[in-house]
Structure 1
Amino acid sequence: MDNNSEYNLYTEKITNKGKTKKRVKRFLLYIFMTVFLSTIAAVVFFEVNGYLKKISTDEKTKEKVSIIIPDESKSVDTTSTASPDSTSQSEVETVYVNENNEILQVAKQSYGSLVKVSAYINTSAVFQTLYEKVCMGAIIIGEDRKFYILCDFGTVDKADNIVIRTYNGIEKQATLLAGDQTTGIAILSMELSEEEYNRNQNSDFNKTRVFEIANSNGVMVDDTVVAVGNICNGEFTYNVGRITNNTNSEYGTDSMYEILNTSITCGMGYNGVLLNNKGQVIGVVTSKYESKYGKMLVSAYSINSIKNVINCLSNGKELKTIGIEGREVTSALSKAYNMPRGIYVNSVSFNSPAFKGNIQPGDIIKSVNSEAVYSFDRFQELILEADENEPLVISLAKRDNNGYKDMEVKLSFGN
């Protein structure tokens, strides 16, 4: 073998040895990077997982925003300021229009708890044309510098911008938390700056404050009441009258709302709240049923029957339903017709959770998640409080030839 051949062979051996070392280094680097990145991924996973669990726990343990309705036994007296039996018609009219009368002073003092709500909708993307819709709102919940405002959903729905103006001149942007098409109620939130809050606290002119809530179960026919808001074709207006009926009810999906009818006359497009003679909220004014109960006469949802809706919307949640309409089986009906207590199902909405769970007209819902339901108020409350990611356990009484047979179904709010 010549020198050249030996040299080439030697060079080849050196080259192969160098390549082997590089391969080993690359392999070791690959192992190191794999372990390193896996360690980072594991750390990130546990950190993120812990953070998400914390958020979930915080959400579950977070105190819910809600209106507080006092026990009926502790409710403030809501009897009339004048007796209709001993008062002439002219004297009654004098009571309503006398500016020095206590009930009218109550109305004026409520202005601090009322706000003007202006909703702006951009009607043209090219010319930036804004259309303004206006309603009155009532401050029903307060947390430090944050206020929750009940108003008309039709006014603020789909608004691009919402501005709140208090009676003492504070203007703030507001956020729509949630709304309900059935009742026409929406809840907004606004927060005062520290400077605005301090200025408001020191104000002597209709300080912005939260309405007191009364127990509407104590409202009686002939009680003197005041409707405040946009009642007489204007902002911050009111009118006085009496309760004419406190026994009417309107039924909807998974709900029953008590209606307070009054003798209060009003203008077009009225909205606001109904107060007792102490200035406490006993109802939410609605024009939805005016064709049934009388045009230009104020009717209101009783605050007790609408509280579940208000609490749900105040926490930014849409109303969940299982899709039934029905009636309460009272103790009297239960005894008279030998029926179990609960919610009698009149109808079931197509493709609703109840429909998919084979709940049928004639069934009686006895409990929700093991809690007995004797009223629509409690039934709706349990539905709204249920975890939408968990099955809803409904205990039913289904009628057969031998009477009623108990059974259990599990419903899902998902698709």
Structure 2
Amino acid sequence: MPYDEKPKQGPDTGPQEEKEEKFSFIQETIKPKPVTRRKILTQLARIVIYGLIFGAFACLGFFALKPWVQNRFQNIPKTVTIQEDEDEGTVQTAPPDTAEAVSPVLNADSYKEIMRSMYDIAKDAGKCVVTVQPADKEKSFSSEGSGTENSVAGLVAADNGKELLILCDNSVCADAENWTVTFSDGSQYGATLKKQDKNSGFAALSVQRINLTTSTWNSVLVATLGNSSVTTEGDVVIALGNMFGYAKGTGFGIVSSNIYEESKADGQYNVLTTDIPAENGGTGILFNLKGEVIGMISPGIWENTEANTTKALAISDLKSTIELLVNGESVPYVGIYGTTINDTMAEKENMPVGIYVIEVNPDSPAMAAGIQSGDILQEVSEAKVSSTLSYEKAVMSSKVGGTIKMKGKRRGANGYVDIDFNVTIGSLE
């Protein structure tokens, strides 16, 4: 066979296939070291040490930042909102008991139990009653025993998160710049004036919450302002304050009348008279048997009378004023004493319906605007006024310093003519 000839491939022989070479590598498995009890304990100890270190730094940081946080957030007082009275028609009454009523047997022990129950109510209510006096006036020797020299009873009316707001008679504000408030536990704290209103005769003082101790906090209660509009003759009431010539007095009695009023500029306040004896010039707080405040006992009520019984301005008529004072806002003032001319009176006297101006205070916004006695006001800030209540609401909703328009009627030679005034709202502080 020639050397250059390729051998013939037979039918049973195929092309040469390349054989893949397979290599076997040694695969090594790394086994973890066994976990021993000692390692577990060591790891746990390390975690505990780290936790203690972190906790220590967290505590140090907390105490270091606490004064800053308190100072930062307590400088932002919350706005106080005085809850309005509920509608008398929504008050739920218990269904009448059809069972035969059994009269209890009353004796001396029953009387003791009744008086003890009332005293317990008075004791709880007393937590919101304080004594206020100027800090820069010393007590006289004769008044050290009574504790009433230059002092008035006050009410813890609100808490805005930064301050406790004390409502009191503004007679204590004359010639004073700082005050001392004595709480029910006998502790004393400095107070500053938040705002006063010489027209209504009330002022709001503030005591810094951060200054109060824990024991004082436990003895303080923010008052609940009740609905004096549902108070009727014969209701049992509790008087707390210095109405009797000494501080921290307690008296029990009944409402003898609720039909009379005390006139102030731009409004009238219902007066709750009681059969509880009182000294002239005494101040205090009147409570119902729920422990709710229903009146502020004021020395200015019916100053010319000699009846030495406890009298209070109804709290429902004071709520809008209180809300402004405790929020540090000025109370609007126009300076008008008026009475309502309703439809019946208007027809009888041939007069327009509205507010008849009886008197205008000297140097008041009303006098500056030209309002005179005898004018009849019918519209305030585009709102119709047909009663002293609606007039008072219109004035109280105005902003001090702002100008409002009042419209009405004035009698002329040929009958009543239209009049209008631009009144700049003022305040008496």
What is the TM-score when the length of structure 2 is the normalising length? Answer: 0.67
Deviations for 1:184-205, whole angstroms, at most 9, x for unmatched residues?
3221111212873x6666x3xx
**Alpha-carbon distance between aligned partners in 2 of 1:97 and 1:336, rounded to the nearest angstrom:** 56
Residue of structure 2 in register with 1:215 after alignment: 227
Residue among 152, 157, 174 paired with 1:157: 174
Query: Is 266-275 or 214-223 further displaced after alignment?
Result: 266-275
Deviations for 1:344-368, whole angstroms, at most 9, x for unmatched residues?
1112234433223232222221221
How far the C-alpha of 1:246 sits from its partner, in A, is 0.8
Residue of structure 1 in register with 2:13 after alignment: none
Deviations for 1:256-289, whole angstroms, at most 9, x for unmatched residues?
1221111111245421111112111111102223
SS, match of residue 165 in structure 2: strand
The letter for the 2-side match of 1:143 is N
Question: Aligned-pair RMSD on alpha carbons?
Answer: 3.4
**Alpha-carbon distance between aligned partners in 2 of 1:338 and 1:409, rounded to the nearest angstrom:** 23
The 1:215/1:76 distance shift into structure 2, 3 A limit, reads: farther
**Alpha-carbon distance between aligned partners in 2 of 1:150 and 1:134, rounded to the nearest angstrom:** 13
The letter for the 1-side match of 2:286 is L
Deviations for 1:35-84, whole angstroms, at most 9, x for unmatched residues?
xxxxxxxxxxxxxxxxxxxxxxxxxxx9753432322325699xxxxxxx
Residue of structure 2 in register with 1:27 after alignment: none
SS, match of residue 133 in structure 1: coil
Residue of structure 1 in register with 2:53 after alignment: none
Matched, 1:141 2:158: yes
The 1:358/1:194 distance shift into structure 2, 3 A limit, reads: closer
SS, match of residue 374 in structure 2: coil
SS, match of residue 273 in structure 1: strand
Q: Is the 8 A contact 1:177 1:314 kept in 2?
A: yes
**Alpha-carbon distance between aligned partners in 2 of 1:103 and 1:71, rounded to the nearest angstrom:** 25
**Alpha-carbon distance between aligned partners in 2 of 1:312 and 1:175, rounded to the nearest angstrom:** 16
**Alpha-carbon distance between aligned partners in 2 of 1:150 and 1:93, rounded to the nearest angstrom:** 39
**Alpha-carbon distance between aligned partners in 1 of 2:294 and 2:108, rounded to the nearest angstrom:** 23
SS, match of residue 296 in structure 2: strand
Deviations for 1:201-232, whole angstroms, at most 9, x for unmatched residues?
6x3xxx31111111111111111111111233
Residue of structure 2 in register with 1:387 after alignment: 399
Q: Is the 8 A contact 2:399 2:425 kept in 1?
A: no
Matched, 1:110 2:125: yes
The 1:255/1:384 distance shift into structure 2, 3 A limit, reads: same
Counterparts of 1:45-60 in structure 2, within 5 Å, are none
Residue of structure 2 in register with 1:44 after alignment: none
Question: Unaligned regions of 5+ residues in structure 2, if any?
Answer: 1-76, 94-102, 139-147
Residue of structure 1 in register with 2:252 after alignment: 240
Residue of structure 1 in register with 2:12 after alignment: none
Deviations for 1:316-372, whole angstroms, at most 9, x for unmatched residues?
344442222111223543454454443211122344332232322222212211122
Residue of structure 1 in register with 2:207 after alignment: 190
Residue of structure 2 in register with 1:329 after alignment: 341
Counterparts of 1:7-406 in structure 2, within 5 Å, are 64-73=79-88, 74=90, 100-121=115-136, 133-193=150-210, 196=213, 203=218, 207-267=219-279, 269-289=281-301, 292=304, 294-337=306-349, 339-400=351-412, 404-406=416-418
Bigger Rg over Cα: 2
Aligned pairs, how many?
329
**Alpha-carbon distance between aligned partners in 2 of 1:295 and 1:372, rounded to the nearest angstrom:** 39
Question: Unaligned regions of 5+ residues in structure 1, if any?
Answer: 1-61, 78-86, 124-130
Of Structure 1 and Structure 2, the greater strand share is in: 1
Query: Is 310-319 or 233-242 further displaced after alignment?
Result: 310-319
**Alpha-carbon distance between aligned partners in 1 of 2:109 and 2:281, rounded to the nearest angstrom:** 27
The 1:76/1:260 distance shift into structure 2, 3 A limit, reads: farther
